[in-house]
Structure 1
Amino acid sequence: MCRHIAYLGPGVPLRDVLVEPAHALYRQSWEPRRQRHGTVNADGFGVGWYAEGDPVPARYRRAGPIWADLSFADLARVVRTGALLAAVRDATLSGADAEAAAAPYAAGPWLFSHNGAVRGWPGSLGRLAVRLPADELLSLEARNDSALVWALVLRRLRDGDEAGQALADTVLDVAAAAPGSRLNLLLTDGETVCATAWGDTLWYLADPGRQRTVVASEPYDDDPAWREVPDRTVLAATRTDVLLTPLKEPSA
């Protein structure tokens, strides 16, 4: 399993979102409070963020635990952003992909993370994988379930689907092919955040007055304004609005 978070709001140092809160993503790497599967998220981490005037995000990813990376501590102290997506990873299966398997994945303006696991991987997604062009399969960032789920989402985005629809349709396709999968997906382009709650926890903190929205696997503090997203839901958010839409179970 994993923990992930997306932030839209006023420009702040990365550490204000990822390190300083009492139960920030940094602490969730060894002491998550609401994680249902797994206990320690030490198999890699990553953060992607947007610089003012540049729609293409930067990324910093590593294969080891976030607490052991002194370079990240410096980065988090000095880099400021008004939009980010970050994750800490608990690998479902061991593999050799290391840093390449750490979210966020990226393409163009998009950053993506998957909190969960595909049941029966890799065989269960064979019929979905063949829908992708060969060059997209061969250029997957990693050989894991999250990378393939990202490729399926990205194909829909490139075909013109709106972000929330791309996530929702991908979740329903994967859930139909691999029942029992956990598919909490998180996607941002620096202006909007879309996410799905499917098999694990998802929360959001909306602060329209400050034009700030946070979407995360679990709250990073004890602010009573945090709200839990019901399971089987797609979330679409900006800095000032959050919309929740139920997802139906896939047809048998």
Structure 2
Amino acid sequence: MCRHLAYLGPPVPLGEVLNAPPHGLYRQSWAPRRQRYGTVNADGFGVGWYADGDPVPARYRHAVPIWGDESYADLARVVRSGAVLAAVRDATVAGADGQAAAAPFAAGRWLFSHNGAVPGWPHSLAPLVRTVPAEELLSLQARCDSAFLWALVLHRLRTGDDAARAVGDTVLEVARAAPGARLNFLLTDGEAITATAWGDTLWYLADPDPGEVDVASRPYSAMPRRTVVASEPYDDDPLWTEVPDRTLLTADRTDILLTPLKEPSTWPSSN
């Protein structure tokens, strides 16, 4: 299992989102409060962020625990961004992929993370291999379930699906192939967040940032907002809202939309 978080809002130091909150992602690496599977997330971490004027994100990933990386501490203090996706990793099974298996995964303007596990991996998803071109499979940098799930989502994006359809259809496809899979996804292009709650916790926080505006001169709807989507709340702000299981979330800096996902058990048999 893992813990992950996506942030859209006014540019802030990475550490303000990931380290400073009392129960932030940094602390969740050793003391998550709502993690249902696993106990610590010390098998690596990653941070992806967007710089002004550049649609392609930067990443910093490592195969060590986030608390043991002094270079990350420096980055978190000085790098500022208004769009961030980060994760701390608890490997489901042992592997030699190291840093390559740490989210966020990336391609072009996209960042992706998976919180969960696929039972029976890799055999359970073998039928889905044929849905991805061979050259894309051979380009995978890691052999873990999350990397393959990213390949499925990315192929849909490259063939024209929008983010919501690519993420939602992939979850349903995988859930049917591997019943019991836990498939909490986070996807962002720096402008919007697409996420799923499927088998584990997901929360969101959306509120105005009063320090950035003159409230008296601008309507509430025009106020810049902070949107955070995360495995669990990073503080005790009462505005945190839990996303129901089996739900697709789409969000930007001003709006949140929740859409129920269809249960695989309701699908007609393919036999």
Kindly indicate whether residue 57 of structure 2 is the aligned counterpart of residue 57 of structure 1: yes
One-letter amino acid matched to 1:232: R
1:8-56, Cα deviation, whole Å (9 max, x unpaired): 0000000000000000000000000000000000000000000000000
Match of 1:214 in 2: 228
Q: Quick one: distance in 2 between partners of 1:99 and 1:124?
A: 25
Q: Quick one: distance in 2 between partners of 1:159 and 1:204?
A: 29
Deviation at 1:129, TM superposition (A): 1.1
Deviation at 1:130, TM superposition (A): 1.4
Match of 1:204 in 2: 204
Kindly indicate whether residue 166 of structure 2 is the aligned counterpart of residue 166 of structure 1: yes
Match of 1:146 in 2: 146
1:249 to 249, 258, 263: 263
Q: Quick one: distance in 2 between partners of 1:249 and 1:182?
A: 13
Match of 2:80 in 1: 80
Q: Which runs of 5+ in 2 are unaligned?
A: 209-222
Q: Quick one: distance in 2 between partners of 1:21 and 1:132?
A: 40
Greater than 2 Å deviation, 4+ residue runs: none
Q: Quick one: distance in 1 between partners of 2:161 and 2:139?
A: 21
Alignment of 1:81-160 (within 5 A): 81-160=81-160
TM-score, scaled relative to structure 2: 0.92
The percentage of aligned residue pairs carrying the same residue is 75
Q: Quick one: distance in 2 between partners of 1:38 and 1:129?
A: 28
One-letter amino acid matched to 2:182: R
1:157-193, Cα deviation, whole Å (9 max, x unpaired): 1111110111100000000000000000000000000
Q: Quick one: distance in 1 between partners of 2:206 and 2:81?
A: 18
Alignment of 1:225-244 (within 5 A): 225-244=239-258
Q: Which runs of 5+ in 1 are unaligned?
A: none
- Count of residue pairs the alignment pairs up: 252
Rg larger in structure = 2
Q: Quick one: distance in 1 between partners of 2:184 and 2:153?
A: 13
1:77-135, Cα deviation, whole Å (9 max, x unpaired): 00000000000000000000000000000000000000000111000111111111110
TM-score, scaled relative to structure 1: 0.99
Paired residue secondary structure (1:170)? helix
Paired residue secondary structure (1:41)? coil
Paired residue secondary structure (2:131)? coil
Kindly indicate whether residue 238 of structure 2 is the aligned counterpart of residue 224 of structure 1: yes
User: CA RMSD for the aligned pairs?
Assistant: 0.7
Paired residue secondary structure (1:130)? helix
Alignment of 1:8-47 (within 5 A): 8-47=8-47
Paired residue secondary structure (2:239)? coil
One-letter amino acid matched to 2:229: V
Kindly indicate whether residue 74 of structure 2 is the aligned counterpart of residue 66 of structure 1: no
